[in-house]
Amino acid sequence: MPEPSADWCAMSVSIESHRDFPYIDHNGAGDGSDTLIRHEEIEVLTTFYGPNAQMNASILRDGFYVPQNIEGLNASAIGFVEADSIRAVPELFNQQWVKRYDLTLRFRRKVQRNFAVLNILSATPVIVNDNHGSH
C-alpha cells in the first residue's frame, strides 16, 4: 500500500449474468442458426486513497457522463448505467487512519452468441389420440 500522502485507486470488477430468458432468434438462411442475446451487468467498485481521494473519485464519476469519454465503451456494446454516491470510508492502516472514498459504477454489456441450430427441412406429423372415450 502506498504512503498516506500518495493518491491512488484500487478497483474491483464483478460481472452478473445470471438473468434468465435471453432473447433467441432463429435465422433460417443457409443451414440455419440461432442468435442468443443477453445483457450482463458489470459493477466496478473504485476505492480512492490519498489527500485528493474525494476529488479524484468525483472526477472519475463526472467523467463517465461526458459522451466523448464513453465512446470506446459504446463501440464495444457496453453502456454506462449509473454511479452511486461517493462514500467516505476511513481505513486504519499501520496504526494510522488514511482517507478512503468508495465509488461504485455500473455498466451494461450486450453479449451476442451464435449457435448452429439446423433448420427442420421436413417432418411427417403423427397425431396420437390417447383419449379412449373416458371422461
pLDDT(134) > 70: no
> pTM for the whole thing?
0.75
Strand residues in 78-124 grouped as ranges (E):
78-83, 87-88, 91-93, 96-98, 100-115
Using CA atoms, how far residue 127 sits from 36, 61, 76, 85, 131, in Å, is 32, 62, 49, 62, 12
Percent of the chain with pLDDT over 90: 64
pLDDT(18) > 70: no
Residue pair 17/38 in contact (Cβ under 8 Å)? The answer is yes
pLDDT at residue 121, rounded to an integer: 85
Please state the rounded mean pLDDT for residues 108-121: 91
